[in-house]
Structure 1
Amino acid sequence: MPIPRAVAVVTDGRRALVIKRYLRQESASACVMCEASNQPGPDCPGHHYAVLPGGHVEEGETAESTALRELHEETTLTARIDHLLWTGKHNGRPASYFLMTDVAGTPLLSGDEAEAHGPNNSFELLWAGADQFEELGLYPVDIRPPLTELLGA
Structure 2
Amino acid sequence: MLGGMPIPRAVAVVVDGSRALVIKRYLRHERYGDCVMCEATGCPGPTCPGHHYAVLVGGHVEDGESAEDAALRELTEETSLEGRIDRLLWTGRHNGRPASYFLVADVTGTPTLSGPEAQEHSPDNSFELLWATPADFAPLNLHPADIREPLAQLLRP
1:36 aligns with 2:54: no
* Secondary structure, counterpart of 2:126 in structure 1: strand
Counterpart residue number, 2:106: 102
CA deviations 1:125-148 (Å, max 9, x no partner) are 000000000000000000000000
* Secondary structure, counterpart of 2:131 in structure 1: strand
For residue 152 of structure 2, the aligned residue among 130, 134, 148 is 148
* Secondary structure, counterpart of 1:52 in structure 2: strand
Amino acid at match of 2:115: G
Residue correspondence of structure 1 range 71-82 to structure 2 within 5 A: 71-82=75-86
- Runs of 4+, deviation exceeding 6 Å: none
- Superposition CA RMSD, Å: 0.6
Counterpart residue number, 1:115: 119
* Secondary structure, counterpart of 2:62 in structure 1: coil
The Cα of 1:40 is off from its aligned counterpart by: 1.0
Counterpart residue number, 2:25: 21
Unpaired stretches in structure 1, ≥5 consecutive residues: none
For residue 56 of structure 1, the aligned residue among 41, 49, 60 is 60
Q: What's the TM-score, normalizing by structure 2?
A: 0.97
CA deviations 1:38-93 (Å, max 9, x no partner) are 11121000000000000000001000000000000000000000000000000000
Residue correspondence of structure 1 range 127-146 to structure 2 within 5 A: 127-146=131-150
Q: What's the TM-score, normalizing by structure 1?
A: 0.99
State the alpha-carbon separation in 1 of the partners of residues 72 and 37 from structure 2.
Answer: 25
Amino acid at match of 2:22: V
Amino acid at match of 2:100: S
Counterpart residue number, 2:13: 9
Q: What percentage of aligned pairs have identical amino acids?
A: 71
The Cα of 1:15 is off from its aligned counterpart by: 0.2
* Secondary structure, counterpart of 1:61 in structure 2: coil
For residue 83 of structure 1, the aligned residue among 87, 102, 116 is 87
